[in-house]
Amino acid sequence: MKRLLMWLPLLAAPLAAAPDDSLLGVTLMQNKTGQSLGVPMQILLLLTLLTLLPAILMSLTPFLRMIVVLHFLRQALGTQTAPSNQVLVGLALFLTLVVAGPVGEQVYQQSWQPLEAGQISSAEAWDRAVGPVKTFLLRFAREKDIRLFVELSHAEPPTSPADVPLSALAPAYVLSELKAAFQIGAVLFLPFLIIDLVVSSITLSVGMVQLPPVMVSAPFKILLFVLVDGWNLVVGSLVRSFY
C-alpha cells in the first residue's frame, strides 16, 4: 500500500502538467476557422473510421448489388468456386468505382479540399459531405423502406426527401438494394434452370443414372453463357441499372 502511495504523485504528474483544455490527447487547437480537435484525437477518430470503412463500402455503395448479383450468377452457372471470391469481389469493387466515382469526386471537392486547406471546420465539412451521399442513396432507396425505418426510429416524419435522417436512409438503402439484387438474380437463374430441367428429363428418360444431371448440364450452361457473351451483358446491365 505504501509503495502504491509513493507512485501516485508520479502518475498524476502528466495530468497536472497538461493544460486546462487537454486530457489524454483531447485538445483544442486554434486555426482559421476556430477551435478544432488535437492531432491525437484526430488520429483516433481516423482509425475508428478506417475500421468502419469496409462495412460502409459493402453496404452503402453499389458494391452490395454487384456482389450479390455476381454470386447468384455463379450459383446459376453451377461452377462452384469459379470465378473465385477474390475475382468477384475485385470485379464488384471496380464496378463500384465506376458508378460511385462521381459522388466521391464531388465529396472530395466540396468537403475534403476546403477542410484540408483550413477554410471550413470539420462540422461544416461533414455537412457538405453528407449532401451528395444522401442524394445518391435517395435515388435507390424505396419510399416504403424509408418509411419503415423512420417509424422504427420513432423520428418525426420528414417534410422533404432532404430531411430524411441518415440513420433511417442507410438501412433503407440496404434493403432496397437487396431487393433489386434478388430480382436480378432470379431473372439470371431462369435460363440456366430451364437447361437443368431439360437435361435432367433427358438423362432420366434414357436411364443414364451414372452421372448426376447437374454435372451433365454444367458444360451446356457454360457454353450458352460464353456464346451470348454473358459477362458483357451482365456487367453492362448491372452498371446501367444505376442510371
Q: Convert the pLDDT of each residue in 102-111 to its tens digit.
A: 888 888 888 7
pLDDT value at position 209? Answer: 66
pLDDT value at position 211? Answer: 67
Q: Model confidence at 178, in pLDDT bands (50, 70, 90)?
A: very high
Q: What is the rounded CA–CA span in Å between residue 131 and residue 169? A: 12
Q: Tell me the three cell numbers of residue 113.
A: 479540399
What percent of the chain clears pLDDT 70, i.e. is strictly above it? 81
User: Has residue 113 got a pLDDT over 60?
Assistant: yes
* Residue 236 near residue 92, CB atoms below 8 Å: no
Q: Model confidence at 7, in pLDDT bands (50, 70, 90)?
A: very low
DSSP state for residue 136 in the 8-state scheme:
H
Instruction: Report the phi/psi class of residue 221: left, alpha or beta, with left for phi > 0 and alpha for psi in -120 to 50.
Output: alpha
Q: What are phi and psi of 80, to 5 degrees?
A: 60, -90
Question: Across-strand partners of 26?
Answer: 23
pLDDT value at position 38? Answer: 61
pLDDT value at position 37? Answer: 57
Q: What is the rounded CA–CA span in Å between residue 137 and residue 127? A: 15
The residue ranking higher by pLDDT, 235 or 25, is 235
Number of other CB atoms surrounding residue 94 within 10 Å: 11
* Residue 158 near residue 164, CB atoms below 8 Å: yes
User: Has residue 13 got a pLDDT over 50?
Assistant: no
